[in-house]
Structure 1
Amino acid sequence: MTGKRIVVTGATGNIGTAVVRALAADSAVGSIVGVERRPAGVSPPKTEYVQLDVTRDDLTLPMRGADAVVHLAWLFQPTHRPDVTWDANVHGSLRVFEAAAQAGVQTLIYTSSVAAYSPGEGDRRATEDWPTHGWPGAAYPREKAYVERCLDAFERDHPGTRVVRLRPGFVFQRSSAPEQRRLFAGPLLPAKLVRPDLVPVVPDVPGLRFQIVHSADLADAVRRCVLRPVTGAFNLATDEVVDSAFLAELLDARLVPVPPRLVRPALAAAWRMHLVPATPGLFDTVLRLPLMDTTRARSELDWRPGHTAAATLREFLSGLREGTGGGTPQLAADDTRLSEIATGVGQRP
């Protein structure tokens, strides 16, 4: 088979499944190696899954002969064990980068996050040179910011490797809805009740706003970065900013003012009691996220989001209600994961 050989870590998650689809559909890509810790079932076209753990297994062998490595693997839970997520996300990323260098891979693409950025300044749009120190109060932005520093060192030590960093907003698709409910909301969010006629009010929390992107649109950007000789960072998000008013209109609900000082203690108590998996620090992070400027992606990648924020959220909410998920262990339907959630099994990708 001719064409580029691409290695994708985290190939069966929310972003990974979309990236594999986008790469497989491009005639310039000949084969894809999906690196995953858990067995992933039937492989998509052009794709071979290999079962490896980025924290301990030899990653060099599957990368030999690859034209590019796309590093997506990331562990969100357990938030009560930050040592576990640090090992997977920071130590695991370092092992991926070094394996790519040892295998002689010339292109390394890493999916970072808007959460890597330092706090924003009002409505000012952050370009890719905005500081990437994250928000220290939560593991996710701390880890994303630290990996950015690791990549700085990697680029310095491996000047011959083309390094690309993608910094998307929050990433959604229909099939990821059950997984994301499990990861961030837990049992307090009855998925089947998330429908406009059953959500009468939306909390109006000052400062709560964020940007999103559809998984397929992020995957399209990854594909373009694989095939184009670009380097550096790219912000990726829809034009619209999602805030309380946006959500209220989407759900045809009424806004009810809620000060952040009331939300955080409630989240903190629920997290301590293991009722919600997302930490109060993550709420603090969202309140401080900058708004991103996506001009560079549009001009240098010719990238445009094919899904609006409203369409992306409607699709995600539909996925929540249906709860069917996708065809991989990470994106499994709710009813196939209830026992794992109850016992704490299956939390690592």
Structure 2
Amino acid sequence: MRADSTTTFRSLYPSIEPYTSERIPVADGHEIYVEQSGNPHGIPVLFVHGGPGGGTSPIQRRFFNPSKYRIILFDQRGCGKSRPHASLENNTTWDLIADMEAIRTHLRVKTWVLFGGSWGSTLSLLYAQTHPERTRQIILRGIFLSRRKELDWFYRDGTRSLFPEAWKRFSSMVPTDEQDDLIKAYYKRLTAPEFERERLSFAKEWSLWEGSTVTLVPDDEQRAHSVDPVFALAFARIEAHYFLNQCFLDSDNHILRDCHKLKDIPVTIIQGRYDAICPPTSAWELAQAMPWASLKIVPVAGHSAFEPAIQHELICATDAV
């Protein structure tokens, strides 16, 4: 972070293009988009995107020194360039972990660094707990542990107090008698045949709620991206599907319970102090469960990986591997 007038934030590495991209067939008829950029002989790093359903974008390659890293991006089931688009069939957390292993095997990677934020932090932790022997190091941002209290914070009684005008728009899309469970109400409208004609409108509103709360300073570009029809449909349907099903975990405390499995893996946690989507409590509790982890709470930052101070810390973390 900026310590004095002579210290500046790190900027992203220059834009690069992939040296290879493909769709890898996995189980159940899904095809996963995977691309590689940077140094083919460098340290393998897997970018684990958020959402669920957020997909990747070219700018995400730029957190990594391209001469040091073999940069691997993939779009999780149903989103981005993966196919079928916006599909909820055979789309669970455990399917995604199996896909990550399929990618690793296909690319002949022995071990890799995991880099994940928000839902990407959840999936990175769960993958590493399942495959610790394949995980070299973990860099996390904006911690989400898929617990009921975290979902309630964002979809019931937390973030709404900071963004009342955005909440009014989001919640008023459904009848008053359904507003006590917006995940369920929106899921019905995003999946049920009788709402097919209105589905895209609900998808855009679901996505806009998150796009309106993701940065410390309002970001019109982020809001515009959130209502892109292709992005919003996959993002909203997949998120609602996962959140209605508690992200398919066997207990509310699943991740914290299994943190001991990561005891031999270096972990860096970077968290915005004013993250309105995934507040610092979860990052703090995760660090308490992993005393060997490094926790950096960034004083002036929200949730987005592209908050200047968050971006700085993430790049410093990748450089330090």
Report the TM range for the smaller structure's normalisation.
0.3 to 0.5
Q: TM-score, normalised by structure 2?
A: 0.35
Q: TM-score, normalised by structure 1?
A: 0.32
